[in-house]
A and B are shown apart, each in its own frame.
Chain A
């Protein structure tokens, strides 16, 4: 089972999403600028540092370590920078699937696929939309095959 990478533009998507999240801290900074100027400097320095760290260090590393693989019987996702974690689920245990797209993901032709299994959920975020759609259909077929085999036994 060889791992597959997410499309490269997912990195841009994560960065834009982070930039949108920064509107909140920036507004707090603006408020502090007019009320407590000394706090404004500290606050801006902190959130800018976190932003730069996430944007140029954490996300590229996260992207580098993120792999997913789909075999005939199993779906596996491995990720993590500080702690490496691997989630795996047998296709026979998958109960239903959800494909979702936020407006930003739609703009960048990306999608997230969630696989709900008995006992847990596996999420593959930032897939190419077409690929996610095909994967969902393929998984649906495999689920039916596995179910048929299981009920025959």
Chain B
């Protein structure tokens, strides 16, 4: 397809983004960064892991998003005594019919907020992550497809680690983005105070059909990505794997493992989705750089040496971006 046609198509298909942002902006003050990432996850069929202290509108954001999109929302508070059946559902014996009937769990929703995912034991985490990957759930002998679109937004609290079950690296890799949410600015927080004191909470109206999202997902995949951008993505991912060979000798002792092939795939997909929400039919290096931290930060392993020196994966990614030549 010609690039002009792609561009026009993207312009057309992405028109709802402005509408959605306008609607979400009614209740969520600031947090543009988080909302953009939510849309990237939604449009590229990926799931998000949100990390941030409590009270940063994580729940409100996903709730508002589901309200704006004719979609079903469910929230799961992960606790140490949660069981996989509490999540996916179970078989219940019906005395009248004298047979087992399926009772679907809260996972059967378009938008699932898994609050404090690291509070539940590994078996529950695995059940959720399996459903995220397979997009289907098996209860008894029957397999059920999860509704489309299906977006899981898991949250983690970075300050309380006692009594938690940290997600293993292999499971972290299944999240497309790990978004670190920061505090709102002073101006934004002033507006939040005013809105809360006045108890003025505008209602979000459903404006987008779930089908529009499914269509938009196809359009995202059609966003043009030049070979140069593909090479740029690979250069970044390979620099995290082999820092020594990429003039990053300093990082050699800091990185225990670099980005997986899933990192390259998700970086490309997320860059396309970012270009889409910027209403462009092609990817530019800015798109890659904009989402690079969110895609890569949970896919790079740091050594004890790096941790001792208080070096974070974000620092490593910054170093990599500073050294990899932009096409």
Q: Do A and B come from one complex?
A: no
A residues apposed to B, CB below 8 Å: none
